[in-house]
A = this chain, B = another copy of it.
Amino acid sequence: MITMSDTVKKIEKLGTEITKQIDEGKEPNYSIPVRSLGNVYYDKVSKTIKLGDKESKRHFLNIGHARKFMQTILVASEVKNLIKHGATTSIRDLYYALKHTIEGTKENVFEDQSESDPLIEDLEASLGLLREELHLTASTKGIIAGKMTVKDGKDTIDLARMGSGGWGVPSNVEPEKIEIKDLDAEYVLFIEKDAVWKRFNEDQFWKKHKCIIITGKGQPARAERRLVQRLNKEYKLPVYALMDADPWGMYIYSVIKQGSISLSYSEEKLATPDTKYLGLMISDVDKYKIPSNVTIKLNLQDIKRIKEMKEYPWFKKDKGWQKEFDLMKQRNYKLELEALSRKGIRFITEEYLPHKIETRDFLG
C-alpha cells in the first residue's frame, strides 16, 4: 500500500535531484518514459498492456524543452501541496490553480489545459503512480450495488441499501481511501449500459444471485475499472462482462480486460485480465431464438474494428473469439443488450444471465 508520505517522497526526489544538479553547476534535466505507441506492448506475464522502458530526457537549457520543464516542476510542486493539505482536485482545477503570468513578463505559464494534462500523465508514468494517488480526480460516471460495505472516510456505506439509485463510484477508490468490508458476493457483473444496470438493480439480481453489479455507463472511467480490479485481485471474485454484441461493446470488454494504449502506463493497476465475456454474443441469436428484426446492420467502421480486434494478441489465439468475430462479419449484423427485451423485459435477468452462468457459456 502506498501511503501519502511515499508519494510525497517520490515527488521530492524529483525536486532534490534537480536542485542537486543546479548546486553542482550541472545543466538541470530529468528523464520521463516515452508515452507513444512505439513504446507500448502486451505483457504476457501481467496479461495487460504496458509501457516499455524507452525514456527521453528533458533539458532545462534546451529552448525546445525549457517551457515544459518549468511547467512540469510547477505541476509537481502543486501536487505535493495538494497531498500535504489532504485535498483532492480535478485536473481542470489544477490548471487554473497554476495559471498565472510570470512577473515582469507577458508570458503565461500555461495558455491552455492541453498544456498541463500531458504533464500530469508524464508524472504518473515516471513516478509509477495513479492520478488518484497524486490527489487528482477524474470524472466518474459509474454506479454500483450489491452485498458489500465500503468505508469511505468516516462513512460506512452499505451498497445493498442504495435503493434504485446505487452508489456513485468516487474518483479515488484506492485501498487507503476506500476500505471494502463485509463482501458477500460470488462474482462481479460489469454491465456496459446504465439502462441494463437499472433492470438488474430493479430486479435485485445482485441479491438473488449473490453478485456485485457495476456499470461505467459506456466506456468506464478509471475508478470503475480500478474498483473491479480490486474485487478481483484482493477478493478473488470472478468478473463477467455484459456488453452489446457489437464492436464497441467488445472493445470496452477488451479495455476492461487488458487495458488501453492511452493508459498503458497505469494498466497494471487498472486492467482485470481475468474478466470473462458473458454476452451478448452473435451466437446467442440462434441459441436464444432472438428474432432477426432486432439486429442492426454493420457499418464500415464496425467492419474495420472487427478486423483490428481479430489481431489483438489476446483475441488472436482464442478460437472462441475468432469464431464470434467471423460470425458477426458473416451475418453482417450486431445487436444491443436491449434486444433481449423482445423476449420479455425480464428475460435478461431471469433466463439469459442465469443460464449463461450455469452453463459457463462465456469467452475468455
Counted per complex, copies of this chain come to 2
> In the assembled complex, how far is the CB of residue A147 from the closest CB belonging to chain B, in whole angstroms?
13
Q: Is the CB of B99 within 8 A of A342?
A: yes
> In the assembled complex, how far is the CB of residue A75 from the closest CB belonging to chain B, in whole angstroms?
14
A164, B94: Cα distance in complex, Å: 19
Q: Is the CB of A157 within 8 A of B165?
A: yes
Residues of chain B with a CB closer than 8 A to A184's CB = none
**Bitwise interface map of A from 198 to 230 toward B, beta carbon under 8 Å scored 1, else 0:** 110010000000000000010000000000000
Known contacts A90-B195, A96-B294, A198-B90; A155/B161 CB under 8 A:
yes
**Bitwise interface map of A from 93 to 120 toward B, beta carbon under 8 Å scored 1, else 0:** 1111101110000001000000000000
A169, B93: Cα distance in complex, Å: 25
Which B residue sits closest to A151, measured CB to CB?
B163
Q: Is the CB of B198 within 8 A of A96?
A: no
Q: Is the CB of B170 within 8 A of A152?
A: no
> In the assembled complex, how far is the CB of residue A134 from the closest CB belonging to chain B, in whole angstroms?
14
Residues of chain B with a CB closer than 8 A to A342's CB = 96-97, 99-100
Interface SS majority for chain A: mixed
Residues of chain B with a CB closer than 8 A to A232's CB = none
Check: A156 CB closer than 8 A to any chain B CB: yes
Q: Is the CB of B88 within 8 A of A338?
A: no
A71, B139: Cα distance in complex, Å: 40
Other-chain residue from B93, B170, B198, B338 in contact with A164 (beta carbon distance below 8 A): B170
Check: A291 CB closer than 8 A to any chain B CB: yes
List residues of A (133-167) whose CB comes within 8 Å of B's CBs: 137, 139-141, 143, 150-153, 155-157, 161-167
Interface size class of A (residues with CB under 8 A): 35 or more
Check: A341 CB closer than 8 A to any chain B CB: yes
Residue of A93, A140, A294 contacting most chain B CB atoms (<10 Å): A93
> In the assembled complex, how far is the CB of residue A145 from the closest CB belonging to chain B, in whole angstroms?
9
> In the assembled complex, how far is the CB of residue A157 from the closest CB belonging to chain B, in whole angstroms?
6
A294, B246: Cα distance in complex, Å: 43
Residues of chain B with a CB closer than 8 A to A170's CB = 163-166, 198
Residues of chain B with a CB closer than 8 A to A108's CB = 293
Which B residue sits closest to A150, measured CB to CB?
B163
Check: A336 CB closer than 8 A to any chain B CB: yes
Other-chain residue from B101, B157, B161 in contact with A293 (beta carbon distance below 8 A): B101
Check: A346 CB closer than 8 A to any chain B CB: yes
**Bitwise interface map of A from 26 to 52 toward B, beta carbon under 8 Å scored 1, else 0:** 000000000000000000000000000
A294, B143: Cα distance in complex, Å: 34
A294, B92: Cα distance in complex, Å: 12
27 contacting pairs across A/B (C-beta < 8 A): A87-B202, A87-B346, A88-B202, A90-B199, A92-B195, A93-B195, A93-B341, A93-B345, A95-B338, A96-B338, A96-B341, A97-B342, A97-B344, A101-B293, A137-B198, A141-B217, A150-B163, A153-B163, A155-B163, A156-B161, A157-B165, A162-B167, A164-B170, A164-B172, A164-B177, A165-B168, A165-B169
